[in-house]
Amino acid sequence: TVGAALTGGLHGARAIAVSLDVGFAPETFWWESAVEVVDQLLPYLMDEPAGTILNVNVPNTELPRGIVEAELAPFGIVQTTLAERDEHHISLAVEDLPNRPEPGTDAALLADGWATVTSIASVSGMPLSRALA
């Protein structure tokens, strides 16, 4: 979702990446909660300049505690690891990270029941030769 939003922002579109924090095998998916959060954020997004990108994470609950602006955590709440590998294939696994997210970050606030929104910058499209200088 974020990759698509970044691509849109690079091309001058306003974009929003929305994720529902479902964890592993929930009994219920609260898509309505994500829709409510997006409904509240769209007017704000439409008033922002072209190229604005929002990253939104919504807890999988009937009613989030509210929407809060948050900085991105250095790592997400899950990570992909190499589970198996041979000459012809690899197998990946998704694992919960063992530590608690940094306080005040989107991951920590999401875990506490808040919907989080973070404004992110698109890639610059800077030529590689300038980036390496």
Q: Which structure tokens are listed for 126?
A: 């800077």
Q: Give the residues across from 86 on adjacent strands.
A: none
Q: Structure pTM?
A: 0.76
Instruction: Return the CATH architecture of domain 2-74+101-124.
Output: 3-Layer(aba) Sandwich (3.40)
Name the helix (H) or strand (E) containing 58.
Answer: strand 53-59
H or E segment at 93? strand 90-96
Query: In this predicted model, what pLDDT tens digit does every residue of 52-72 receive, in sequence order?
Result: 999 999 999 999 999 999 988
Least confident of 34-48, 74-88, 111-125: 74-88
Domain ranges within the chain, ordered by starting residue: 2-74+101-124
CB 74 within 8 A of CB 108: no
Distance (Å, rounded) from C-alpha 105 to C-alpha 118?
10
